[in-house]
Copies of this chain bind each other. A is one copy, B any other.
Amino acid sequence: MDTSSRQGRSAPTRAGRAGRSTRAGRATAAGESERRAAIVEIAAGLFAERGYRATTVREIADAAGMLSGSLYHHFDSKESIVDELLSSFLDELHAQYTAIAAARAGPSDTIAALARAAFAAIAGHRAAVTVFQNERGYLATLPRFAYLRTSEEASQALWLRALSEGIAGGELRADLDPKLTHRFLRDAIWVSVHWYRPDGPLGPDEMAEHFLATVFDGIRARGTGGDAPPAPAEVKTKR
């Protein structure tokens, strides 16, 4: 009766995770979902490649083998397509992050697990991550995408807790600024989607290990005696 109930659905999806597939009788819903999902995937590739705004509805339709008007049978706007892409990706990521936090491992292990989840997401949802990275700034200005901010705050909170506990407990250096550190780590992880090649030699786990090794112990060789390499001038004498 209300056609908008089917198409403009980011809110319900995010609000309750109780979506369409809960009940049986998925005969039609499943067919519907497949087509929708296929379109979202196609669009995601284009959005990632050339940008959300630079991708036209006609290009998406072309790539999906239909006319532009036909897209509107499945989505009520171009925005709804990115919305579905980003909200389902963030839902999934958030679920993983939450599970990691709930496991209540030690700070170092938690941090490592968060990083591994992130690199796995980069490998498994390249397009979604790319779009999120590139378009977040623009999309977050639209009320509909307020959840982009919410979502970031939630994951920041998890990182901050692990970092703070690590510092307090002596596992991490006492002179770290948790917020600043989180930002550096977050950026270094996520931006790698721009150059990471899923078909290249490194799997997501290797990326994660390399990253974690660098992050935990730094890039400087550990001095084993008196012949430690000199610290870079000024590094620790700032101001």
Q: Give me the interface of A with B, judged by CB distance under 8 Å.
A: 1, 3, 50-51, 53-54, 58, 62, 65, 106, 108-109, 111-112, 134, 137-138, 141, 163, 166, 169-177, 180-181, 183-185, 187-188, 191-192, 194-195, 202, 205-222, 229-236, 238-239
Contact = CB atoms under 8 A, between A and B. Distances in A.
B213 A216 contact: no
Contact of A173 (B134, B175, B202, B221): B221
A217 B214 contact: no
Contacts of A214: 176, 181, 184, 215, 218
Contacts of A233: 109, 112
A239 B134 contact: no
A43 to B, nearest CB: 17
Copies of this chain, count = 4
Contacts of A1: 62, 65
Contacts of A217: 173, 217-218, 220
A106 B231 CA distance: 10
Contacts of A53: 51, 53-54
Top-7 shortest CB links A-B: A218-B218, A108-B232, A187-B191, A188-B188, A171-B229, A209-B238, A217-B218
A140 to B, nearest CB: 12
A235 B212 contact: yes
B213 A215 contact: no
Contacts of A62: 1, 3
Contact of A238 (B134, B171, B176, B206): B206
B205 A238 contact: yes
A175 B231 contact: no
